[in-house]
Amino acid sequence: MIKYVVLDFGGVLVDYNFKNFFAHLLGSEERATWFLDNVFTEEMNNKLDMQLKPFGEYIEEWKARWPEYAHELDFFNLHYTDIFTGEVVGMKVLMEKLKAQGYQLLGLSNWSSKVNDVMKKFPDCFRLLDGYLVSYMVHQLKPAPEIYQSFIQKFGIKADECVFIDDKPKNIEGAKNIGMKGIVFKDAQQLERDLMSILQ
């Protein structure tokens, strides 16, 4: 029996656009694409989300490696929340509906400690959560099984009591591998339809 609806943050609760942020900063979409392919890579983003050391130390390391982008990296650090453009349409209403039906809402996200600034900027959805675990807290990343186990242990719940929602299929597969149900998120309307088939 499902008791917990578990939500990813980026792309599920809040929208974001790294390419637009860096295109504005660097002056063109082409330069932003190169920057994301070579400087702010997925590997670097994962290091930030795992955060084995303070966020600022990673920025300093990048600046030493890419001194020609020192200004852009400092700007990224100081204006991080500008990447996040708003709450995902329809999610607050759906979350309120689920809570009214008696489900607990929990969060599980890959994110650095900068998530706290984003949560302050867009409080409406985040305040509806009954608790959450973020990757920087445990230095683990989805879709590795360890972070799902840490989540289960933190809240003292069972995997088969959870349905996990994430916009990345690989993270849903990770959740299913430890016994959770999962839904790949596209939008709030699709999520509500898919939830109905699981929760009924």
Say what the pTM is: 0.95
Question: How do residues 158-193 score in pLDDT, each as one tens digit?
Answer: 999 999 999 999 999 999 999 999 999 999 999 999
Rounded to whole angstroms, the Cα distance separating 200 from 186 reads: 21
DSSP 39: T
pLDDT for 40-91, tens place per residue? Answer: 999 999 999 999 999 999 999 999 999 999 999 999 999 999 999 999 999 9
Task: Output the six-digit token pair for 14.
Answer: 């809040």
pLDDT of residue 101: 96
DSSP states along 148-184 = HHHHHHHHT--GGGEEEEESSHHHHHHHHHTT-EEEE
